[in-house]
Amino acid sequence: MNEHTNDRVPFGFWVYLMSDCVLFAALFATYAVLRGETFGGPSGAELFSLPFVLAETIILLVSSATIGLAMLAAHHKKKKEVIILLLATFALGCAFLAMEVSEFAQFVREGHGWQQSAFLSSFFTLVGTHGLHIFLGSLWMLVLLFHLLYKGLTPGTRSKLMCLTLFWHFLDIVWIFIFTFVYLFALL
């Protein structure tokens, strides 16, 4: 594979990420408009537990760093290191998902599901869409791990890892804004 295609793949992926950014913008706008419409149900301030969300944020931040280091290790052709760091990222991604699902399950159990108010509908859509991205990213990571084990560090797997790294960093950036606009702003 020549240098040209190696450069074009991440660029095409970057264009996809920016269009995903627009998708999240629409969901953020919906949430911002509907956040006050609680229809007699609980508001964000009554529902959210800030220390729990801080733990989620830190898990995602650490996973963003570990996948960046995996990319760096791939650049230095250290296959074993790449696999260990990707496994760590995968574990952190799963931990994040588990925390998010348990948060959602708790809300639904208490009767505050997405059908209760416009605020909760938009909350579940926004945070759930981010969670779905994390879920798909984790699946992608698993597939890439098998690729790495069987094919090794080829230009093909490196380019896939590059895209996954961009994707994961992007999801961390989206989470910063969810943490700020959804969780922190609800408690102000």
Partner 1 sequence: MRTDYHNTPHARAESAYGSIHSYIFGFLFSILCTGLAFGLVQWDLVTHHEILPHGMLILVILVLAIAQLMAQLIFFLHLGKGSQSGWNATVLAFAVLIVVIVVGGSLWIMSNLTHTSVEEMYIGGVISPSTQAD
Residues of this chain that bind partner 1 (CB under 8 A):
3, 7-8, 10-11, 14-15, 18-19, 21-22, 25-26, 28-30, 32-33, 36, 38, 50, 54, 57-58, 61-62, 64-65, 68-69, 71-72, 75, 166, 169-170, 172-173, 176-177, 179-180, 184-185, 187-188
Give the nearer residue to partner 1 in terms of CB position, either 68 or 113: 68
Give the nearer residue to partner 1 in terms of CB position, either 104 or 158: 158
Minimum CB distance to partner 1, residue 173 (Å): 5
Minimum CB distance to partner 1, residue 55 (Å): 11
3-state helix, strand, coil in the chain (%, to 5): 85, 0, 15
Burial code (b: 16+ CB inside 10 Å, e: under 16) for 148-171 equals beeeebeeebbbbbbbbbbbbebb
Contact by Cβ (8 Å): 8, 113: no
Taking every pair of C-alpha atoms in the chain, what is the biggest distance, in angstroms? 61
Q: How many CB atoms lie within 10 A of CB 51?
A: 6
Give the nearer residue to partner 1 in terms of CB position, either 90 or 170: 170
